[in-house]
Chains A and B, each alone.
Chain A
Amino acid sequence: MSEEGGHTLVERTALALQDLYRERGHGGWNTLIRIDNRAEAAAAPYRFDAAHGMLHRRDCRALSEDARSASYALWRIGPEDRIKGCKRCMPMPEERTRNEEQAAPQAKAGPDLLFGLVSILDQFGGVLQERGKDYRKTEEGRKIGAEMARFYQALGQREKRILDTALASLELLIGRVREAEEQMKGRRGQGNG
């Protein structure tokens, strides 16, 4: 929760990311997080018309323009979803459950990484770099280091540029979060004085 005179790490991080973008451009890091999933949704096998509570196949002709504007793409229908099926395209019950392996692409990596990063910054912000140096010296760290060097060599120019930009942004971001942390400590100190 935002505090009087200070802000949470999520607030600071989110704003720092947008500030970095404004100041430096995305530099190849085109997407921070993509909510718009129209491309994936267009390929989903079912449409759920929320306005009329009706399930259709994707290309069903009974799905009018009006119904489409209230419809949601579905990749699978669970047994708990007892909903009317269209009489014209008849999405069959057995078909409704067989597509689990084709379930919607969740693409969780983006926000998970971002908020994982936030939680790490929150816990270890001050010692992250030191931990990195120490970890590099361990046996596990040496193995991963060799693998990462091979991985980096195998990347194309564009991927290298994106990775470098992301890491540079990360470093800047850590700096911004530290600055904000210091400012907040300063304000709290003044308040206590």
Chain B
Amino acid sequence: MARLSTGDAAGALRLEELARRYRGEVKEVLGPLVRAYCPALAAGDGQEYRKMLELSAKMALVGHACTEVAGEQFDASRQRLAILFGGCCFLADSFLDDFGDVAARDYLARFERLLASGWFEIRTPRERLFYVIVALMFAERDVLAPLLRQAILALQTAQAEDVMLRLEPARVAELSRRRRLAVLRRSTRNRSGHAILALTIFLVQNVALAYLAALFTAGALIMFIDDHGDCHADRKEGRVTYMNRLRDPERALGRIYRQHRSRLEAALAAGPGRSLLLAFLARYYVTRLEKHRVQRRRGGAAWDIYE
């Protein structure tokens, strides 16, 4: 494998400091909401709650980098919004992944209705928590800004496509291997590409299109890395992803990482935002390679928490 570029030392150091800070702050934002609306989430060993906090801290870090890339300050209000976005994504993923196929389809239909009309039928404490987080995010921001509306909708569409690939594997089974990989690769790219744009546009109203394209690239890379980390857990659950269909995923991921990173280095102006984003991607890449290797040796589940 070619030498791995892990970014500059200052970026990596700042990443560590911010990660420590946000791990504390996510508890202050999400803790009271979880206790008020869905205490069961934090009950028992609290593993699911800790996983939610870790994902939200990650979202705060990415949000911080994207805000600075767009030339703005990541103030307290944006920090809170990014953490809420992380909590929202975590719960949405859980509705899609953890309660069976019927629940996944049902959630997709109800969320589509929420986007079309604003009405959301709340059936469980977890859904109440999800809805409250969505309402808090919508109250902080002009959610009818055209690009933000499209980003939210595109994220929902990409999630729905991903779920349908899982629930109806026949859709891709009849395609040639090359075509099948192309469909899976696009689904992977779009899920996180649109997610990072939704996050960024939530945080910063006006972002130059060139930066949005670069951030879409960063989002896509995050999902390729993520899927490689979850490769064994996904296989165990029968979930088909682009990364777990490849013959040599580690080598493919190395190539994807270098290509995406080069694009980012060319597209983003030097500065603290770029430095933080590249440091995050490098760290995420290294830790998910390790997660993949550990799960190959020991087996593992999607519930395991990794830094």
Contacts and interface: CB of A to CB of B under 8 A. Distances in A.
B144 A108 contact: yes
Interface string B17-44: 0000000000001001101100000000
Interface in A90-135: 104-108, 110-111, 115, 118
B143 A50 contact: no
B146 A50 contact: no
A182 to B, nearest CB: 18
A41 B150 contact: yes
A37 B146 contact: yes
A5 B36 CA distance: 7
A33 B143 contact: yes
B1 interface: no
A106 B120 CA distance: 23
B96 interface: no
A70 interface: yes
A70 B115 contact: no
The binding surface of chain B is classed by DSSP as: helix
B76 to A, nearest CB: 11
B106 interface: no
A50 B154 CA distance: 12
Contacts of A4: 32, 35-36
Contacts of A66: 182, 186
Interface in B119-168: 119-122, 128, 131-132, 135-136, 138-139, 142-147, 149-154, 157-158
A83 interface: yes
A83 B209 contact: yes
Interface stretch (A18-26, A138-146, A149-157, A164-172): A18-26
Contacts of A15: 122, 128, 131-132, 135
B170 interface: no
B136 A53 contact: no
Size bracket of the A interface: 35 or more
B117 A50 contact: no
Contacts of B186: 66, 69
A106 B32 contact: no
Contacts of A77: 209
Q: Which of B118, B132, B135, B149 has the most CB of A within 10 A?
A: B118
Contact of B139 (A18, A36, A115): A115
A32 B193 contact: no
Nearest to A55: B209
Contacts of A110: 144
A111 B143 contact: yes
A30 interface: yes
Given A10-B136, A70-B193, A36 B144 contact: no
Interface string B224-253: 000000000000000000000000000000
A102 to B, nearest CB: 12
A73 B189 CA distance: 19
Given A32-B117, A82-B210, A111-B143, A38 B153 contact: yes
Contact of B146 (A40, A80, A82): A40
A37 B210 contact: no
A1 to B, nearest CB: 7
Interface string B255-271: 00000000000010000
A33 B115 CA distance: 8
Interface of A: 1-5, 7-8, 10-11, 14-15, 18, 21-22, 26, 30-38, 40-41, 48, 50-53, 55, 66, 69-70, 72-73, 75, 77, 80-83, 104-108, 110-111, 115, 118
12 contacts: A4-B36, A11-B135, A11-B136, A14-B135, A15-B128, A33-B117, A36-B116, A50-B197, A50-B213, A51-B193, A51-B213, A51-B217
Interface of B: 29, 32-33, 35-36, 80, 112, 114-122, 128, 131-132, 135-136, 138-139, 142-147, 149-154, 157-158, 182, 186, 189-190, 193-194, 197, 206, 208-210, 212-214, 216-217, 220, 267
